[in-house]
A = this chain, B = another copy of it.
Amino acid sequence: MSFSVDPDASNTTGSKPKVDVPILKDLTIDNITENVHRINSQADDARLKYVLERLVSHMHDFARETRLSTKEWMAGIEFLTAVGKKCTDVRQEFILLSDTLGLSLLVDSIDHPKPPASTEGTVLGPYHTHDAQDKSAGTNISADPDGEPLLCLCTVKSTTGEPIPGAKIDVWETDSKGVYDVQYEDYSGEKPDGRAVLRSDDQGVFWYKAIVPVPYRIPNDGPVGVMLEKLKRHPWRPSHMHFMFEKEGFDHLITALYLRGDPYETSDAVFGVKESLIVDLGTVNAEQAKKYDIKEGSKLLTYDFVLVTDEDTKKLRDAEAMKAMKALGRDRMKILEGLPVPDVD
């Protein structure tokens, strides 16, 4: 039941490789999936083949299980097109879609498993940029005069409690109106605001000044906003500050801290809140005010971040992947560069 697809197949001097592919004819609701798998299995890359196989299976099962109508399919095509059209250099509507359907948090959880003693990760969101400038300890990341001043005193350590010096730490937050710098029309990238790149010192300490985060709406003037409205979901995110840690030998940590008592603490539009990431803000005392050059009584955020080594992360990720494959009844899988692929060789 296979057939050489090369139109020059009869030309025995032809130099094109002949590939055996299934006969693609008379495809039906019941047999199309296996045939799409077969034609896609010509790819060289084992991982690509596996990902495509799962993608096509789920997409087809989705259509079969819903009995998706042509009208609904077309609405889907139009929705995805509108999402694509909404994307710009500073707005990623597909990430927003992924965030609001819980996919982003799920992928982060799979890719960056955390042992109990470490800092949990959460969604990156669409507003991280590479415009933030390197700043020294004590910098004020916010130029917003209307924000409520906040002193941030943090440390970064390993799971064994050792300080991690020289970690690169990206921090970013909105202004007091709940708007990121990139969301302003006149944003050029030259004057980033509400963001900085910091380094931890020999004691693993990093500290800076910022403003108290406020809740904000994810951009809901696009197709994702329309979707949320149809689902009767609000577009709010609870007050938070983003953090991204990079340090050789340690797993990349993308996380955020949330303020306790926020009205959206338990209904985050992008599912990012974790109890371990909720903080109670303190108050700057006289000694701290003097030491850190900030008004006594200002709000104070303290947090000790714990990074996991690449090695521990890899072990945990591989073990969880194999466990998941077993639970799925997929016994003949192996882990290749940290990702499961069929073990067919």
Chain A residues within CB distance 8 Å of chain B: 3, 5, 7, 19, 21, 23-29, 32-33, 35-36, 39-40, 42-45, 48, 50-52, 54-56, 58-70, 72-73, 77, 80-85, 87, 92, 94-95, 98, 101-112, 230-234, 236, 263-268, 271, 273-275, 317, 320-321, 324, 328, 330, 338-340
Contacts and interface: CB of A to CB of B under 8 A. Distances in A.
A102 B36 contact: yes
Nearest to A233: B39
A5 B268 CA distance: 10
A275 B26 CA distance: 6
A337 to B, nearest CB: 9
A267 B5 contact: yes
A340 B321 CA distance: 35
Given A7-B264, A274-B26, A42 B232 contact: yes
A23 B344 CA distance: 43
A277 to B, nearest CB: 10
Copies assembled? 2
B271 A36 contact: yes
A7 B266 CA distance: 11
Central interface residue in A73, A95, A105, A321, by most chain B CB within 10 Å: A73
Nearest to A98: B77
B232 A43 contact: yes
Contacts of A110: 29, 63-64, 67-69
Given A40-B231, A92-B77, A266 B107 contact: no
A32 B85 contact: no
Given A44-B232, A63-B103, 11 more contacts: A25-B274, A29-B109, A42-B231, A43-B232, A54-B66, A56-B102, A59-B101, A59-B103, A67-B321, A69-B339, A72-B339
Contacts of A98: 73, 77
A282 to B, nearest CB: 22
Given A62-B58, A94-B77, A67 B324 contact: yes
Contact of A73 (B5, B107, B264, B321): B107
A77 B320 CA distance: 24
Closest 6 CB pairs of A and B: A84-B84, A7-B263, A58-B58, A36-B102, A42-B232, A5-B267
A343 to B, nearest CB: 15
A80 B84 contact: yes
A81 B70 contact: no
A8 to B, nearest CB: 9
B107 A70 contact: yes
